[in-house]
Amino acid sequence: MLVSAKEMLEKARDGHYAVGQFNINNLEWTKAILMTAEELKSPVILGVSEGAGKYMTGYKTVVGMVNGMLEELKITVPVALHLDHGSYEGALKCIEAGFSSVMFDGSHYPIEENVEKTTELVKICAEKGLSLEAEVGSIGGEEDGVVGMGEVADPAECKRIADLGVTMLAAGIGNIHGKYPENWPGLRFDALEAIKAQTGNMPLVLHGGTGIPEDMIKKAIDLGVAKINVNTECQLSFAAATREYIEAGKDLQGKGFDPRKLLAPGTEAIKATVKEKMELFGSIGKA
């Protein structure tokens, strides 16, 4: 059964590790992530962007697929199904469809409007026992056509949003989505410390987990990050393994064209990436 992300993130915060959010795109992604979490006894958050939800034909399909897998794969570890960078309307749709967690990304609104919409969702999520992630200070890079400026969040605005009663808070600290450019100056730990000082016990979320050096990830966890989002890295490992299979001509041998064979190396590559991240985040054995 899907659970809210609240308890797993509070445990992570208190235990000084982080839970990974791995975004899903299809059945192979979902299966790979769930099987790895179960094998390693790690809590896990499945992230779904609005674009990926649409790709999978809608949120109800996603909920049906994930709930089916939890049962058929006999998953015992805590799993949250979470909308990533949701609009207000998207969040309502996911809540209706059966997600156990949503992110409302109001970071592109003026702070007053972000506060107003987040407040409404806090009320709805509290009634239904769902976890809610809010965002302050947009995160750089490109995600589903939305390009952020990579700003650093204002700690006072973070406090305003955290005090509304959200479960977790994403705040820009120089992190960006997608691949990091060569000249990226690194995470702004001064900003993270200032935000932590203002938001107290609030589990913080680090977006754009692909390509941040390991020592920076570990330091961010030490400073209060309890959830780390990984998306691009699974896409890269899936694509590389699939390329290797085809370049080796394996799709042309026997029944190598069978999608169950063609997609298998990519699926295994996602498993390896998820395992690597869970080791780095320290969530193995914490379920």
Span from 59-67, 90-98, 206-214, 266-274 in contact with Zn ion (CB under 5 A): 206-214
Please say whether the beta carbons of 80 and 41 come within 8 A.
Answer: no
Q: How far apart are CA 91 and CA 70, in angstroms?
A: 22
Of 45-64, binders to Zn ion (CB under 5 A) are: none
Q: How far apart are CA 211 and CA 232, in angstroms?
A: 9
User: And the tokens for 129?
Assistant: 């026992």
Query: Which residue, among 25, 96, 12, has the nearest Cα to 54 in the 3D structure?
Result: 25
User: And the tokens for 134?
Assistant: 């809010």
Residue 222 is a catalytic residue: no
Q: How far apart are CA 264 and CA 240, in angstroms?
A: 12
Span from 37-45, 49-57, 58-66, 204-212 in contact with Zn ion (CB under 5 A): 204-212
Q: Cβ of residue 139: shortest distance to Zn ion, in angstroms? A: 5
Kindly determine how many residues on this chain lie close enough to bind Zn ion according to the rule CB under 5 A. 1
Catalytic residue, candidates 84, 144, 154, 215: 84
Please say whether the beta carbons of 23 and 230 come within 8 A.
Answer: yes
Q: Cβ of residue 263: shortest distance to Zn ion, in angstroms? A: 26
Q: Cβ of residue 169: shortest distance to Zn ion, in angstroms? A: 13
Asked if 207 touches Zn ion (CB under 5 A), the answer is yes
What dihedral do alpha carbons 72, 255, 232, 237 form, nearest 10°?
A: 110
Residue type, 90: G
Q: Cβ of residue 167: shortest distance to Zn ion, in angstroms? A: 16
Residue of closest CB approach to Zn ion = 207
**Would you say 11 or 207 has its CB closer to Zn ion?**
207
Asked if 6 touches Zn ion (CB under 5 A), the answer is no
Catalytic positions, written as ranges: 84
Task: Using CB under 5 A, list all residues that contact Zn ion.
Answer: 207
